[in-house]
């Protein structure tokens, strides 16, 4: 067989117009995420403007209970997943579990970030819980309302985490779901109603927790209806990754949190 040399165009500008291929030319986000979950990746891609990409490594969550979360966080797979995600040329590494990072309070969340930094030196690191606090600060939130799909004992830990960080929870509601697949099956209409049910006149913002709980498609409609910021774990996580990467890489339509982070020409 005779080898044929590649034909290189002799003049610049002779290429056809190529389609966007998902390249992370602006920022690449590494994501440590639960193996049985699907929503966070979908919502991050939905919010991403051209040039922002997400690259995932997974860990196994036995059940959405305190015991199940603790088993996941104490398993050696967490370090493996962090190192696997960090093997790619990423700009930010995100731990995509809200309850898993707030379960034992603020000190635990900060220690988790430091542990990941030791495993994966180089990229900036955040968690869904750290991102949430940063997002609430960004929108000037004080007292908040809280909507979660959790069991009551995990929901109470979410309240404790918010309040130890200066955000009194004036009203809250939970759905008592302990199966990870079931979390993702809650419809966007049900999420919308759930968030409306926890609103309170004294709440300066509403936080919706859980990274396998579908939220971002309803945020703009909720903010229009309620006249206040609505922050979800997935939205806050993606925003904080853009903040840490120093890029404007969001599509419009996902809440007031992204003011100043929309990439021009990224409308659908």
Query: Exposed, middle or buried, 227 (CB in 10 Å: 0-12/13-18/19+)?
Result: exposed
**Boundaries of every domain in the chain:** 27-258
Q: Using DSSP bridges, classify how beta strands 144-147 and 124-127 pair: parallel, antiparallel or unpaired.
A: unpaired
| Distance (Å, whole) CA 48 – CA 263 | 9
Give 146's pLDDT tier (boundaries 50, 70, 90): very high
Task: Write down the mean pLDDT value for the chain.
Answer: 95
69-117 tens-digit pLDDT: 999 999 999 999 999 999 999 999 999 999 999 999 999 999 999 999 9
Give 14's pLDDT tier (boundaries 50, 70, 90): confident
pLDDT at 11: 64
The CATH number given to 27-258 is 3.40.50.12500
């Amino acid at each position: 067989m005779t080898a044929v040399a590649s034909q290189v165009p002799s003049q610049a500008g002779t290429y056809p117009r190529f389609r966007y291929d998902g390249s992370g030319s602006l920022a690449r986000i590494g994501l440590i995420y639960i193996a049985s979950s699907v929503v966070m990746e979908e919502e991050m891609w939905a919010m991403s403007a051209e040039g922002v990409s997400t690259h995932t490594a997974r860990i196994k969550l036995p059940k959405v209970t305190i015991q199940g979360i603790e088993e996941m966080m104490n398993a050696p797979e967490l370090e493996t997943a962090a190192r696997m995600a960090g093997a790619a040329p990423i700009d930010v590494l995100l731990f995509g579990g809200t309850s898993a990072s707030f379960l034992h309070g603020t000190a635990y969340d900060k220690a988790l970030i430091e542990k990941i930094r030791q495993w994966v030196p180089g990229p900036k690191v955040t968690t869904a819980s750290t991102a949430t606090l940063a997002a609430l600060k960004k929108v000037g939130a004080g007292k908040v309302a809280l909507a979660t799909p959790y069991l009551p004992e995990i929901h109470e830990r979410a309240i404790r985490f918010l309040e130890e960080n200066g955000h009194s929870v004036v009203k809250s509601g939970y759905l008592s779901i302990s199966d990870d697949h079931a979390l993702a099956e809650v419809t966007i209409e049900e999420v919308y109603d759930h968030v409306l049910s926890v609103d309170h006149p004294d709440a300066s913002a509403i936080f919706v927790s859980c990274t396998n709980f579908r939220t971002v498609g309803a945020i703009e409609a909720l903010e229009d209806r309620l006249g206040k910021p609505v922050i979800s774990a997935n939205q806050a996580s993606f925003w904080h990754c853009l903040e840490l990467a120093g890029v404007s890489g969001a599509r419009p339509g996902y809440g007031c949190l992204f003011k100043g982070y929309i990439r021009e020409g990224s409308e659908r």
